[in-house]
Amino acid sequence: MKSRESGRQPVRNFDRLFHGLNLAESVFFYPCCSSDVSQPIRFFAPHISRFCFADIQPPPVSELRKAVDIHEEHSVVISGYEFLQYSPEDVPRRELERIADLRALHNYSASYKGSEFEISWYQCDAVHALQQIDQVTVFCHRSDGPIWGEGSSGIPWLQKDLFSLVIDKIVDNGLLVTDGSCGHYPDTEHPHSPLWRDLRANKSDCPASMPEDFELNHARFRCLGTFLSRRGVRSYIWKISKPGALL
Ligand SMILES: C[S@@+](CC[C@H](N)C(=O)[O-])C[C@H]1O[C@@H](n2cnc3c(N)ncnc32)[C@H](O)[C@@H]1O
């Protein structure tokens, strides 16, 4: 059982986080990331073989070049949209008509401090991007908002069917990194409210709160500690175990 304090602490032992996971095929996925690429890549590089970012904006190439060594790059067009499980109306998305034709995938081979990995930048709708990826080892989402406007995607990653898709994609013992943005159903308690309930307390100048562990869709969510802050808001790292998962 975790100590009462562990959820308040920054996670330091990353080898423990990834224990038992297949690092040769480990995928990090961060939708609506904008140019927030350096910190996550540098943090997770020893444990991840493919970093997948998704945004309707083009890749922040100069940011990437500053963060890592890029050895090779090429772009392709994403195909197979017609087989996607969500129709555009299922999940509210901003200006979907305008972005529906975006389907570029920019690939890079890169390294950082001796770790080699691929970077895939999906320049398309981020829900569509997630559907292109079989399994996710780390799902990361932060500093976004559930309401359209002021640059927020408005994509409800932590809500309803979309969160079920996220849970399905995350492997057994995989990780969720979130500051709770794109969560909070107003005024209602949900089993997974701990993901966003203390959003105000997530401000990094407040003491860290300790979110409770919970279960949802037969998956157990265990808060392991805090992640680096972004715009003064801290994220938490959750371990997701699926007791019914096939070995
Ligand atoms: C508030 S910003 C996210 C900031 C980022 N997480 C950070 O920490 O800097 C929202 C981002 O979502 C992107 N976006 C909006 N709608 C999107 C969609 N349907 N699919 C993919 N990206 C989208 C925007 O281009 C923008 O970069």
User: pLDDT digit of tens for each residue in the chain (247 aa)?
Assistant: 445 556 667 787 777 888 888 888 999 999 999 999 999 999 999 999 999 999 988 999 999 999 999 999 998 877 655 444 455 455 555 556 566 666 789 999 999 999 999 999 999 889 889 988 999 999 999 999 766 566 788 888 998 788 999 999 999 999 999 998 887 666 677 889 899 876 656 676 777 777 899 999 999 999 998 888 888 888 999 999 998 765 4
How many Å lie between the centroid of ligand 1 and the Cα of residue 34? 5
Res 232: pLDDT = 82
- The minimum-distance atom of ligand 1 relative to the CA of 181 is 6
* H/E run at residue 189: none
Q: Return the residue whose CA atom lies nearest to atom 13 of ligand 1.
A: 32
Q: What is the pLDDT of residue 98?
A: 61
pLDDT reported for residue 15: 78
Instruction: Check: CB of residue 215 under 8 Å from CB of residue 202.
Output: no
pLDDT value of position 1: 44
Q: Does residue 171 contact residue 247 with C-beta atoms inside 8 Å?
A: no
Pocket lining: 132 vs ligand 1, CB cutoff 6 Å: no
Q: What is the pLDDT of residue 9?
A: 77
Q: What is the pLDDT of residue 94?
A: 57
Residue with CA nearest ligand 1 atom 27: 34
Q: How far is the CA of 3 from the centre of ligand 1 (A)?
A: 35
Please tell me the residue having the least CA distance from ligand 1 atom 17: 153
- Torsion of Cα atoms, 60 then 62 then 63 then 65, to 10°: 120
- Residue 233 CA to residue 204 CA, distance in Å, equals 5
Ligand 1 pocket test: which of 78, 121, 153 has the largest number of ligand atoms within 8 Å of its C-beta?
153
Q: Which long-range contacts (CB under 8 A, 24 or more apart) does 94-98 make?
A: 94/148, 94/153, 94/154, 96/125
pLDDT at 34: 95
What is the Cα 33 distance to its own chain's centre? Answer: 9
pLDDT of residue 69: 97
- H/E element holding 16? helix 14-17
Quick one: CA torsion of 196, 202, 203, 209, rounded to 10 degrees? 140
Q: Is the CB of 36 under 6 A from ligand 1?
A: yes
Q: Which two three-digit tokens encode residue 149?
A: 């406007």
208 three-state secondary structure: coil
Q: What is the pTM of this model?
A: 0.90
Token representation of residue 131: 């559907």
C-alpha 32 to ligand 1 mean position (Å): 3
Sign of CA dihedral 120, 14, 163, 32: negative
8 in Cβ contact with 208 (< 8 Å): yes
Ligand 1, atom 6: nearest CA belongs to which residue?
A: 33
CATH 3.30.70 fits 15-241, yes or no: no
Token reading at 112: 């950082």
Nearest-angstrom CA–CA distance, 139 and 173? 12
Ligand 1 and 10: CB distance under 6 A: no
Surface-to-core class of residue 176, CB atoms within 10 Å of its CB (0-12 exposed, 13-18 middle, 19+ buried):
buried
CA-proximal residue: ligand 1, atom 11 (nearest): 32
Q: Rounded to the nearest 5°, which phi and psi values hold at 110?
A: -145, 170
54 lines ligand 1 (CB under 6 A): yes
Are the CB atoms for 130 and 162 separated by under 8 Å? no
H/E run at residue 31: strand 27-31
